[in-house]
Amino acid sequence: EILRSALRLVGGRAEVVPVETPDRVVPSADRIPCLDPADERGLPPLRDVRLGTVDPRAGRASYDFLLAAIDLALAGRIDAITTLPISKKSLQLAGIDYPGHTEILADRCRARDHAMMLYLATGEATETSRQGLGVIHVTLHMALRRIFEHLNVENVRSKIELADRSMRPLTEGRPPRIAVAALNPHAGEDGLFGDEEPTILAPAVAQAREAGIAVSGPYPADSLFRKAIGGDFDAIVAMYHDQGHIPLKAIGFSRAVNVTLGLPIVRTSVAHGTAFDIAGKGVADPSSLIEAVRIAARIVEGRSRGEPSPSENSRNGVAEPAKN
């Protein structure tokens, strides 16, 4: 019913068709299959949740819907998940103690090592998503002062390795060219602005190169992104959330895609938030969602060709869903 209301709002003519299982889905330009796990999970009705508001009922529903999708993917009943934004405040009000999608996915899949990648198709490849730039983050949803607790040679090296595996379906199997962004201004200026570059980042790069990965750096972050967008690199390993998010979103906000790395399943997402301020106005831009679906399909295609996947990493090879 919520989908039907949204279609009426924008003047859409597609028909929403309830389905009981994913194998009942038939591709169609004028029919939208809808798998609704609400009844079996005992969720409260959502019809009276007001658009553009923080509501614990919506938070609980978004969490349970995500778990249902994860379990379907883990069971091999769907090939990939593409998610829309969730309200972190609604999650908290519902008593769900996760900062976002990435952490829920990692916990449910029992992922040993995971990361978030923003991906942006560049140049003429935008329509096909065949080429682009990926930004992988060493740290993500935490206070800026805490990132130093998580920056060490092992963590940086593991994210470089994850970037190498993850980008191959998006570079059609060729080794991706990876750059590591410096933490400090001017890459530390020979220790004048910090010593993380020679003590943490450079050793991590050296170890990854010894393992055969095409990685270099650390490079000053303020000039690195320009070079990468120009085609010098396929991926950047950023040290923290805003270092990677701000430049990529400034370049292509409506086309950026979030990919969760290190899971036994494929998951992509839009790179924007809930945008409650425009909810119900019929003016939302679907570009990031369309691109997220394209990227998910591209990764699945890469897996079918035997290329390493962003998802090939879990504690036990194929994870069983974690208990709630």
Tens digits of residue pLDDT in 194-252: 899 999 999 999 999 999 999 999 999 999 998 998 889 999 999 999 999 999 989 88
Condensed to tens digits (0 to 9), the pLDDT of residues 237-285 reads: 999 999 999 999 898 888 889 999 999 999 999 988 899 999 888 888 8
Cα angle 274, 250, 160 (rounded to 5 degrees) comes to 90
Which runs of E-coded beta strand occur in the chain? 15-19, 31-35, 81-83, 115-121, 132-137, 178-181, 215-219, 235-238, 257-261, 267-270
Q: What is the mean pLDDT of residues 301-314?
A: 63
Angstrom CA distances, 291 to 69, 172, 218, 268, stand at: 19, 17, 30, 9
Q: Which domains does the chain have, with CATH numbers?
A: 113-304 (3.40.718.10)
- Rounded to the nearest 5°, which phi and psi values hold at 14? -70, 155
pLDDT at residue 152 in the model: 97
The reported pLDDT for the residue numbered 242 is: 95
What are the CA-CA distances from residue 222 to residues 41, 129, 319 (Å)? 48, 25, 39
For residue range 168-186, list pLDDT tens digits in order. Answer: 888 877 899 999 999 999 9
